[in-house]
Amino acid sequence: MRPRVRQMALGFVALVLAGCAAGPQGAARLAPDPEVTAMPAPRFGPPRPYAPARTNTEIAHDILELGFVLESGREIPQFSRFEGPVGVALSGDVPPGARRETERLLERMRREAGLRVTLVARAPAQVTVEFVPARQLRAAVPQAACFVVPNVSDWAGFRAARRSGALDWTAVAERTRVGVFIPSDVAPQEIRDCLHEEIAQAMGPLNDLYRLPDSVFNDDNFQTVLTGFDMLALRVWHAPELRSGMSRAQVAERLPAILARENPRGERPFRGQLPERSPRAWIDAVETALGRGGSMAARRNAAASALAIASARGWEDARMGFSLFLAARFAPPSAGETALAALMRAQRIFRGLPGGEIHAAHMDMHVATQALAAGQIDLVLSLTERALEPARRSENAAFTAILMLLRAEALERRGRDGEAAALRGSAVPLAAWGFGRADVVERRIAEIAALR
């Protein structure tokens, strides 16, 4: 399930970070401009995901937690997958560009994960992706931007089965039919992001873990397309040594040999301590901070609670980085220096984590925003240059555009007007595809210019 948050949104008040980032996606959102939805997707070149950098001991631990626990915390008693080739069908009000994005995704799954999966012409299929108006989807599942359920193939079937046991993933011993539901009237990038996560979960593990910086199976939403770790997890999930109905212990017994074959670079000693499962109290605090409809005071208190729990646990992983980020995001205007210090500590944590490149780049963007407001132009140019490579590799059009617009403003202040104009011109189509509306792009440009 992809939660209703978006990390790359840009807002700010002078040097204070209270409005710099994450906010609820679903609130007061207008439908995308038709001319934007008709735009071709940005071309980032051939996919260049970062390879998984953790040891196979850690990756085996990750896969077991992703595969045998639901986001709610309920245990999944048996391993399940499709046994045989899988067809994916699109139905409903299919947005422009969705078919091309699906074909590109499935081609990556075949090439990088070795999956036997193809796009088929008619629904229902083993995996049926139905596009539903966002208003209807939010009314049914308020906390989700998009989601995946077993044993149904259309929206009507989902609604009819909601109060039965048919949609219970813990009862699935072998996958035969899965429904994916994605909003039809949101920004093209959000549709693309939903296709990646929900089809991947239809084919592989179901859980999301905040502690994984290098995966779309993470509710912080910094990763937008399938990563090298995600492709490895899918390849392992469909290894011939595994079969539907196996217990967690049976899968755990086979994982070391599978990973040794599929990820030889991970065959090195692990001398640390495997991460504990995130406590429910910390998850609840994060979800309250990012939730829809809560007051700023409630969200600020929740962010402070998340940071307090992370500190008490002694975490120095992605969860601590994200807790610091949230504390900075919701800090009151009077705590600007404290917020900036939290953000810079998060930046250091993410930069030191295997697979933390895109998270570190987001922290660079927020620090660059503050640097631009303070007139530290050289720092803006340095930070945006460093962040652009992971932004492009993660194929995040909206985030890439914001970095380019920040950099263009800095170049203009250096008197390099021609370079600034060219960069701004290249950023606008990316921003339009990422945010979905021309007026949002204009507002972002104005907000950055207002930092003068």
Domain co-membership, 340 together with 214:
no
Q: Give me the mean pLDDT over the 229-256 stretch.
A: 98
Peptide bond into 333 cis (omega under 30): no
pLDDT of residue 157: 96
What angle, rounded to 10 degrees, do the helices at 98-113 and 188-203 form?
40
Q: 394: exposed, middle or buried (C-beta count within 10 Å: 0-12, 13-18, 19+)? A: buried
Domain co-membership, 117 together with 193:
yes
pLDDT of residue 141: 92
**Do 217 and 66 meet the contact criterion of CB atoms below 8 Å apart?**
yes
pLDDT of residue 43: 87
Phi, psi at residue 34, to the nearest 5°?
-55, -40
Domain co-membership, 72 together with 197:
yes
Residue 273, in any domain of the structure: no
Phi, psi at residue 3, to the nearest 5°?
-75, 165
pLDDT of residue 29: 62
Q: How far is CA 295 from CA 24, 54, 302, in A?
A: 12, 39, 11
pLDDT of residue 17: 31
The more confidently predicted of residues 70 and 10 is 70
Gap between the Cα atoms of 190 and 192, Å rounded = 5
Residue 77, in any domain of the structure: yes
pLDDT of residue 356: 96
pTM of the model: 0.93
3-state DSSP helix/strand/coil % of the chain, to nearest 5:
55, 10, 35
Give the pLDDT confidence of 394-419 residue by residue, as tens digits: 999 999 999 999 999 999 999 999 99
Give the pLDDT confidence of 27-48 residue by residue, as tens digits: 346 788 888 887 888 889 999 9
Q: Token match 């960069």: residue?
A: 423
Q: What is the CATH number of the domain that holds 29?
A: 1.25.40.10
The more confidently predicted of residues 57 and 26 is 57
Structural domain containing residue 115: 56-264
Least confident of 111-125, 231-245, 285-299, 397-411: 285-299
Structural domain count of the chain: 2
What band does 313 get if pLDDT is binned at 50, 70 and 90?
A: very high
Gap between the Cα atoms of 149 and 147, Å rounded = 7
**Do 18 and 339 meet the contact criterion of CB atoms below 8 Å apart?**
yes
11 pLDDT more than 70: no
pLDDT of residue 1: 74
Domain co-membership, 231 together with 318:
no
**Token pair recorded at residue 427:** 């950023």
Domain co-membership, 120 together with 29:
no
Gap between the Cα atoms of 274 and 54, Å rounded = 11
Domain co-membership, 361 together with 402:
yes
Residue ending a domain, among 219, 236, 264, is 264
Gap between the Cα atoms of 270 and 284, Å rounded = 31
426 pLDDT more than 60: yes
Domain co-membership, 256 together with 225:
yes
What type of residue sits at position 155? W
Residue 222, in any domain of the structure: yes
**Token pair recorded at residue 397:** 């059009």
What type of residue sits at position 368? A
Gap between the Cα atoms of 344 and 321, Å rounded = 10
Gap between the Cα atoms of 338 and 344, Å rounded = 10
Gap between the Cα atoms of 386 and 373, Å rounded = 19
The more confidently predicted of residues 292 and 49 is 49
| Residue 188 three-state SS | helix
Gap between the Cα atoms of 286 and 137, Å rounded = 23
Percent share of the chain, pLDDT over 70: 94
pLDDT of residue 28: 42
- What is the CA angle 81-163-131, rounded to 5? 60
pLDDT of residue 452: 77
Domain co-membership, 419 together with 393:
yes
Domain co-membership, 60 together with 155:
yes
pLDDT of residue 333: 87
Q: What is the DSSP letter of 294?
A: -
Give the pLDDT confidence of 75-123 residue by residue, as tens digits: 999 999 999 999 999 999 999 999 999 999 999 999 999 999 999 998 8
- H or E element: which one contains 261? helix 248-262
What band does 6 get if pLDDT is binned at 50, 70 and 90?
A: very low
Domain co-membership, 35 together with 102:
no
Phi, psi at residue 39, to the nearest 5°?
-65, 145
Residue 72, in any domain of the structure: yes
**Do 115 and 86 meet the contact criterion of CB atoms below 8 Å apart?**
yes
Q: Give me the mean pLDDT over the 18-26 stretch.
A: 36
What band does 16 get if pLDDT is binned at 50, 70 and 90?
A: very low
Residue 258, in any domain of the structure: yes
Which residue, among 267, 297, 301, 268, has the nearest Cα to 284 in the 3D structure? 301
222 pLDDT more than 70: yes
Domain co-membership, 35 together with 71:
no
pLDDT of residue 25: 38
Number of H helices, E strands in the chain: 17, 8
**Token pair recorded at residue 124:** 């229902």
**Do 62 and 209 meet the contact criterion of CB atoms below 8 Å apart?**
yes
Residue 272, in any domain of the structure: no
Residue 187, in any domain of the structure: yes
Gap between the Cα atoms of 85 and 274, Å rounded = 35
Residue ending a domain, among 232, 264, 296, is 264
pLDDT of residue 21: 37
Which residue, among 47, 8, 42, has the nearest Cα to 428 in the 3D structure? 42
Domain co-membership, 79 together with 38:
no
Which of 135-139, 217-221, 258-262 tops mean pLDDT?
A: 258-262
26 pLDDT more than 90: no
pLDDT of residue 193: 97
Give the pLDDT confidence of 366-390 residue by residue, as tens digits: 999 999 999 999 999 999 999 999 9
Q: Give me the mean pLDDT over the 428-452 stretch.
A: 93
Alpha-helical runs (H) found in 129-171:
134-140, 155-161
Residue 327, in any domain of the structure: yes
15 pLDDT more than 70: no
Q: What is the CATH number of the domain that holds 220?
A: 3.40.390.10
Which residue, among 414, 411, 342, 253, has the nearest Cα to 17 in the 3D structure? 342
Give the pLDDT confidence of 121-153 residue by residue, as tens digits: 988 999 999 999 999 999 999 888 999 999 999
